[in-house]
Amino acid sequence: MPSPTTRAYSRYALAAMELLGKMIRLGRLRRKLTAQELAERVGVSRSTLQRIEKGDPKVEFGLMLEAAAIVGIKLFDEDEKGVMALSERADDRIALLPKHIYKAGTQADDDF
């Protein structure tokens, strides 16, 4: 409902985005790549890379991860096989839960 202009992000999300941006910049400098060079490898313009390294919440999710991967940052501390394994485990766990959530005559939500 809120127009994307009005969008608000939690402080935690903002901090995490900023951190990833800084990690990408650090990785780039360590690998002695210019902004232009990294931008080309990621497949974006230099201006977009600037936003990536600032941790701008509005950049494409895929671009952040692509840039991170190129400079050697692996989320989840896993290589490709590890990520795929985790993905299957997630599938398994999802399969154990109800497919739909019903709120007909329900009260709250949280527990565990």
Binding region for DNA (CB under 7 A): 1-5, 34-36, 43-48, 50-51, 53, 56, 58-60, 63, 98-105
**Does residue 43 touch its own copies according to CB under 8 A?**
yes
Residue 95 to residue 80: CA distance in whole angstroms: 23
Residue 31 DSSP code: T
In the complex with DNA, the residue whose CB is nearer, 43 or 82, is: 43
State the Rg of the chain over Cα.
Answer: 19
Contacting residue, 30, 47, 104, 105, with its own copies by CB under 8 A:
30
Would you say the C-alpha torsion 24, 26, 31, 36 has a positive or negative sign? positive
Residue 12 to residue 9: CA distance in whole angstroms: 8
In the complex with DNA, the residue whose CB is nearer, 77 or 94, is: 94
Amino acid at residue number 63: L
Which one of DNA, its own copies, none is in contact with 104 (Cβ closer than 5 to 8 A by kind)?
A: DNA
Number of residues that bind its own copies (CB under 8 A): 68
